[in-house]
């Protein structure tokens, strides 16, 4: 899997993470599924983090998340191509909380994208159903 992301959207993600520091921020990436192994990001949808302790966890505001997902169903003009959140102080490596969220959601068709605010890097992962495997993030 390769996730293509425009440089300006990537820097927008980084700036969003900085703006909410030291809280985690989150959102959805939509765009085009070019084929099963290549997705292209075209838009970032900020979703408020409604987790009470948001320094080490996030919970996307359910209605806002639902609205974006329903308007970007598979086969739509633009589809969901990524789930994004920040790690304000830690590296962009999935946490045990992230693993729990992925196991509960069961989502294996969309990359999980994490931006580390402190370490200034962004990585993408696919969830196999059991673990996260790093995938290519191609900056275009």
Q: Which stretches of the chain bind Zn ion, using CB under 5 A?
A: 95, 98
State which residue, 9 or 113, has the beta carbon closest to Zn ion: 113
* CA angle (101 as vertex; 121, 123 as ends), nearest 5: 15
Structure tokens at 49: 């983090």
Residue among 123, 70, 132, 72 nearest 101 (CA): 132
Least gap, CB of 82 to Zn ion (angstroms) = 14
- Tokens 């086969």 found at: 75
Which DSSP state fits 90?
S
Could you list the beta-strand ranges (E) of 1-140: 2-5, 26-35, 38-47, 79-87, 112-116, 121-127, 132-139
Least gap, CB of 74 to Zn ion (angstroms) = 25
State which residue, 38 or 95, has the beta carbon closest to Zn ion: 95
State which residue, 78 or 89, has the beta carbon closest to Zn ion: 89
State which residue, 1 or 59, has the beta carbon closest to Zn ion: 59
How far is Cα 115 from Cα 94, in angstroms, rounded to an integer? 10
Least gap, CB of 99 to Zn ion (angstroms) = 9
Least gap, CB of 43 to Zn ion (angstroms) = 22
């Amino acid at each position: 899997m390769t996730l293509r992301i425009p440089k300006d959207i990537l820097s927008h993600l980084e700036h969003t993470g900085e703006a909410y520091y030291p809280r985690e921020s989150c959102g959805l990436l939509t765009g085009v599924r070019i084929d099963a192994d290549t997705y292209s990001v075209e838009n970032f949808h900020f979703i408020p983090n409604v987790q009470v302790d948001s320094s080490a966890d996030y919970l996307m505001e359910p209605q806002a998340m639902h609205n974006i997902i329903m308007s970007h169903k598979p086969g739509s003009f633009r589809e969901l191509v990524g789930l994004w959140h920040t790690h304000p102080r830690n590296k962009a490596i999935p946490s045990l909380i992230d693993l729990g969220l992925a196991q509960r959601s069961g989502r294996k068709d969309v990359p999980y994208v994490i931006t580390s605010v402190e370490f200034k890097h962004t990585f993408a992962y696919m969830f196999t159903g059991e673990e996260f495997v790093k995938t290519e993030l191609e900056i275009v």
